[in-house]
Amino acid sequence: MDVTVSVDTKAWEDSLDLLLALAHSASKDASVAAAHAIQDEAQQYLTAKQHPPHTKTPSFPGEPPAAISTDLAVSVWVDERPAEGQAEVGPTTDYGRIQELGGHMSGHPYMRWVEDGRVHYSAGHDLPARPYLLPATERLIDTGEITAIYYDHWLRAQQDVTGP
């Protein structure tokens, strides 16, 4: 008598197809979750230091800007496009970009400060970069938090197919 073993791979192939579809969807969701993590981190950087209006910032060039108000921190938003697997993080204030990258600023109505009891005005000056988005993103990458977000989403996708 011959012994024959027959293996039907359809169930495995169906499971793999489902896993791929769920992993693809999980990646899109993870991108949105990672963007929100960057938003939270950037907002923490933007509220770590404060200073009163019309005073020079205590932040050194290269450090996140010190806040006079929470306007810049609150303006950091996430544009979610999960169907495309994308999300963008950025400020909506008109001065968010120049704080991040630095550059020449002119015509801003608040370009005045009090120093030594005198009010100083500036029609324009160069602002050094005071990044907050880049260091927030780099910290989350360097600590593995972004990787963990994707890993957790993919693990849940796998568990949906195979069970816990």
Structural tokens at position 47: 């509220």
82: left (phi over 0), alpha (psi -120 to 50) or beta: alpha
Q: How far apart are CA 126 and CA 122, in angstroms?
A: 10
- Interval 64-93: pLDDT, tens: 999 999 999 999 999 998 778 889 999 999
The band of 152, judged by pLDDT with boundaries at 50, 70 and 90, is very high
Where in the chain are the domains? Answer: 40-162
Q: How far apart are CA 158 and CA 164, in angstroms?
A: 9
Q: How far apart are CA 156 and CA 47, in angstroms?
A: 34
% of the chain with per-residue pLDDT over 70: 96
Q: How far apart are CA 42 and CA 77, in angstroms?
A: 10
Beta-bridge partners for 113: 120
